[in-house]
């Protein structure tokens, strides 16, 4: 069974760049990598998705190395409102349990 | 556009009782997913519908869980009989594109199930 791991928690200060890494050693060929943000008592909210190399949108960047066994979510200039739990989700059409959530990283942004 | 909605938001039942959770996906989304997070564990995939068909139910823990999506619209997840270890938060998500090209999944707020 594929396992997807992340650091349990991270602290950062407002205005800093935050990088959160997800390890997914058993990623399958057809799997995509998606990152979600979750606030208390809410469902996960989509941040960014990618398959390989680098993807950037208005809120984040996603870096995926050539072997795709890890991925890094980069949040530029975080603010207090970015305090949340961040999950990577690995999924596609291959194999069973095809959508695997990471263990989640609790990010705390300090003033 | 309305988001994914789930009902109830919280349910407290006794061991051995039956509970039915409901999910209404975003209109036009053919894909519907159920996940759950039990205490202290990761969010786990349960199953995936494409319209009314179960595409993958490999994550369903046992035969006490039954998911349906009649007509390809809303879905229900029934737990019968409920056990203590079923307590947790059950999330539903929906997406537009086919599973062959993974698309953004929109999540509902979840149903918190407490079995006493």
Percent of chain B with pLDDT over 90: 71
The pLDDT score that the predictor gives to residue A99 is 84
What does the H/E/C string look like for chain A?
A: CCCCECCCEEEEECCCCEEEEEECCCCCCCCEEEEEEECCCCCCEEEEEECCEEEECCCCEEEECCCCCEEEEEECCCCHHHCEEEEEEEECCCCCCCEEECCCEEEEEEC
| C-alpha torsion B2→B3→B6→B9, nearest 10 | -100
The answer on pLDDT for A24 being more than 80 is: yes
Give the nearest chain B residue to A35 (CA atoms). B104
Confidence of residue B56 (pLDDT cuts 50, 70, 90): confident
Q: Are A87 and B43 a contacting pair at CB < 8 A?
A: yes
* pLDDT digits 0-9 by tens, B64-82: 999 999 888 999 999 999 9
The pLDDT score that the predictor gives to residue B100 is 52
d(CA A68, CA B95): 24
d(CA B24, CA B1): 13
Residues of chain A contacting residue B110, judged by C-beta atoms under 8 Å apart = 41-43
Q: Does a cis peptide bond (omega within 30 degrees of 0) precede residue B8?
A: yes
Contact yes or no for B15/B81 (Cβ under 8 A): yes
> Which range, of A27-36, A42-51, B29-38, B99-108, averages the lowest pLDDT?
B99-108
* pLDDT digits 0-9 by tens, B10-37: 999 999 999 999 999 999 998 999 999 9
The pLDDT score that the predictor gives to residue A93 is 58
Total beta-carbon pairs less than 8 A apart between chain A and chain B: 61
Residue A27 φ/ψ, nearest 5 degrees: -60, 140
What is the average pLDDT score of chain A? 91
């Amino acid at each position: 069974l594929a396992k997807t791991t992340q650091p349990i928690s991270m602290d950062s200060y407002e205005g800093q760049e935050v990088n959160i890494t997800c390890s997914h050693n058993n990623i399958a060929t057809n799997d995509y990598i998606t990152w979600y943000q979750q606030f208390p008592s809410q469902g996960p909210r989509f941040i960014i998705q990618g398959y390989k190399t680098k993807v950037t949108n208005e809120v984040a960047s996603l870096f995926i190395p050539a072997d795709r066994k890890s991925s890094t979510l980069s949040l530029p200039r975080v603010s207090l409102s970015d305090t949340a739990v961040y999950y990577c989700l690995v999924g596609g059409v291959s194999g069973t349990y095809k959508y695997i959530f990471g263990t989640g990283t609790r990010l705390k942004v300090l003033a | 556009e309305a988001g994914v909605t789930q009902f109830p938001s919280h349910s407290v039942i006794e061991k051995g009782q039956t509970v039915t959770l409901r999910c209404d996906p975003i209109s036009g989304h053919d894909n519907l997913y159920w996940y759950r997070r039990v205490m202290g564990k990761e969010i786990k995939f349960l199953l995936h519908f494409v319209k009314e068909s179960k595409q993958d139910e490999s994550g369903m823990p046992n035969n006490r869980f039954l998911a349906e999506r009649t007509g390809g619209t809303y879905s229900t997840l029934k737990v019968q009989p409920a056990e203590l270890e079923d307590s947790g938060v059950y999330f539903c998500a929906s997406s537009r594109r086919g599973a062959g090209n993974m698309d953004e999944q929109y999540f509902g707020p979840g149903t918190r199930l407490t079995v006493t």
